[in-house]
Amino acid sequence: MSAKNLWEQQRLANPGHSAWYISRFQEMRAEGRDLHGEARLVDAMLPRKSRILDAGCGPGRVGGELARHGHDVVGVDLDDELIAAAQQDHPMVDWRVGDLAELDLPQHRFDLIVCAGNVMTFLAPGTAPGVLTRFCAHLADNGRIVVGFGTNRGYEREQFSEDVIAAGLVETNAFSTWDLRPFTAESDFLVSFLEPAARY
């Protein structure tokens, strides 16, 4: 794992960072906040019992909800504290500690890979093309990738577009929200739909 991963840097600087992240979402859930916009979009794209990778799953908010909708979910994240929380809250999912830059799940090909919650902006600088390449290698026939992140957090839309091409992918659609508002010049959030360029 690269020492420059930005999430891991935050954990090193603040050992309570992961616990804070877990409790933040528990509080939002207790307040009745809607935490499932990403899962609703992904679920609408797939038939029942689809194979889904929650890439950079954190404490399992997205993958756990998708499993409740009957999908077969694997979640991968670098942060062992977040994975432990995911295992406790959503035991029906196959949660794993791992680095997306080295993703290697030989037994798995996914109908959809979802990468939500700004994961792309926490990757070690320069590793995004490799991460996207590993996503591409884990797609089933007709599999798709959906990536969402804030484009004002140090990893810009233009760099992402270059990295998508470098990874052998093509962006088939781009929106500014998980409920599919248009992406415009003013947008500061991107929801990008990707497929292997070889299909087109």
Sites of contact with ligand SAM (CB under 6 A): 5, 7, 56-58, 61-62, 76-79, 82, 99-101, 116-119, 122-123
Number of H helices, E strands in the chain: 8, 7
Of 118 and 159, the one with the shorter C-beta distance to ligand SAM is: 118
108-141: string of b/e by CB count within 10 Å (b at 16+)?
Answer: eebbbbbbbbbbbbbbbeebbbbbbbbbbebbee
Shortest gap between Cβ of 138 and ligand SAM (angstroms)?
A: 13
What contacts 126, CB < 8 A, 6 or more positions away? none
Nearer to ligand SAM, 155 or 183 (CB): 155
- What minimum distance in Å lies between the beta carbon of 185 and ligand SAM? 26
Rounded to whole angstroms, the maximal C-alpha distance in the chain is 46
Nearest residue to ligand SAM on Cβ basis: 117
Alpha helices in the chain (DSSP H): 6-13, 17-30, 37-44, 61-68, 80-89, 119-122, 128-137, 157-166
> In angstroms, what is the minimal distance from the CB of 191 to ligand SAM?
13
**In the complex with ligand SAM, which residue's Cβ is closer, 53 or 62?**
62
**Least separation in angstroms between CB 92 and ligand SAM:** 18
| Residue 123 or 136 with smaller CB distance to ligand SAM | 123
CB of 95 to ligand SAM, least distance (A): 12
Closest CA to 169 of 191, 145, 140, 189: 145
Query: How many angstroms separate the CA atoms of 134 and 110, rounded?
Result: 12
| For ligand SAM, the closer CB: 58 or 143 | 58
